[in-house]
Chains A and B, each alone.
Chain A
Amino acid sequence: MDGSIGILPFPLAGEGTRARPRVDHKNSDEAALVRRVQARDEMAFREIVERYQSKVFSIIYGILRNRNDAEDIAQQVFAKVYFSLKNFDFRSSLLTWIYKITVNECYDYLRKKRVRKLVYESDFSQEDAQRMEASEPAIDGAVPADTRLAQRDLILKLLSKVSEEERTLILMKEVEGHSVEELAGMTGLNENTIKVKLFRTRQKLLKAAGRLTRIR
């Protein structure tokens, strides 16, 4: 089932930015669904799982690149959603909230497996191993797979140095490709606040990278 974000009522890019009314997350279809889950309607929870499972799955796979781990963590994400949904306060969209839980679960997983192990062969997925074998030497100017793995390792490490909120915002901006206006609608924050938060996050990433280079 399609769990893409297209189903959410995002404001269209290109509209006036400052005067745009805030998205009312309390009175959307999504909110009605959440209220049904809060009233212990299991069918409503099933609808949430089916609506967002693809999205959650692809977020996890994007970060970890391992299908088996993605399935396991996706289960954990929805178990957390189930237990925490009673505390959902409708300040942001449900997708933003689930996105944050998903990224946190990925980081929990990485912490448990020690982030550095990502570049060890034992932690490679089959897809990674195949790509690595096929990548020597890089002929078409593309970055070799082992370099890309090291780069992914680096950016994941840098992202662990910023707060959960900052990490979620920058990933939604750069990985999911949402605009500042869309992020404002999804999070319930002002556009300028989003811009400031993104800028601070980028600066923190730069500083963390600088520290890492000095250590190395």
Chain B
Amino acid sequence: MHREIRDHIENVLAGSEPEHLAGCEECCSEVQGMQEHTALLRELRAPESFVAEPRAGFYARVMERIESEGPISIWNLFIESAFGRRIAVASMALAILLGVYLVTSERSADDPMIAGQQAQQQPLVVVGEDGPARVIMQMDQSPAGQSSEDAVLADLVTYREQ
């Protein structure tokens, strides 16, 4: 919309017709759209026949509601607004995912069957600095580093000799 119309849009919508409007199709079309919306907005006026009086005892009912509701808490923001509810749902979903992950990861660390299977599936190949290569089959590894009892050490050289 051109400045000639934009600067006086309220007057134009109120009925004034500047010369520019007759020659500018763009402005004319926008003003027409705005006029249509103005007419629609005016439809939101309560009809003149409407008696804008609530039923008797309105104040008492307002006070009842106030007493039943209590002051607005911060939680109302989450419960009442759509955005707040989305945040609450997303946070709960995240918390559940985190919980599931923590439980499953702890269980797999604690379970000797699972840990043993993992160890069996992953033999360590150690290349000795001053000797032949050795394979260590690690069955279990305690946190204190007592791997000697549980690990099976196979000397490849010995194995070949046998």
- The interface of chain A, by Cβ under 8 A from chain B, is 3, 46, 49-50, 53-55, 57-59, 61-63, 70-71, 74-76, 78-80, 82-84, 108, 111, 148, 151-152, 154-156, 158, 170-171, 174-175, 180, 195, 198-199, 202-203, 205-206, 209
Contact = CB atoms under 8 A, between A and B. Distances in A.
B72 interface: yes
Contact of A206 (B33, B52, B71): B33
Contacts of B55: 71
Contact of A151 (B43, B46, B54, B69): B43
Given A46-B59, A61-B50, A195 B10 contact: yes
B44 A74 contact: no
B127 to A, nearest CB: 68
Contacts of B80: 108
A54 B53 contact: yes
Given A61-B46, A171-B44, A53 B9 contact: no
Given A50-B59, A61-B52, A83-B71, A209 B37 contact: yes
A50 B41 CA distance: 27
B61 to A, nearest CB: 6
A216 to B, nearest CB: 16
A156 B62 CA distance: 27
Interface string B44-70: 111000101111001101100110010
Interface residues of B, number: 32
A161 to B, nearest CB: 12
24 contacts: A53-B53, A54-B52, A58-B46, A58-B52, A62-B45, A71-B55, A71-B58, A74-B54, A82-B62, A82-B66, A83-B69, A83-B71, A84-B72, A148-B43, A151-B40, A152-B44, A171-B41, A174-B38, A174-B42, A198-B10, A202-B9, A202-B37, A206-B33, A209-B33
Interface of B: 1, 6, 9-10, 30, 33-34, 37-38, 40-46, 50, 52-55, 58-59, 61-62, 65-66, 69, 71-72, 80, 82
A58 B40 contact: no
Nearest to A196: B6
Contact of A205 (B37, B53, B59): B37
Contacts of B38: 174
A99 to B, nearest CB: 13
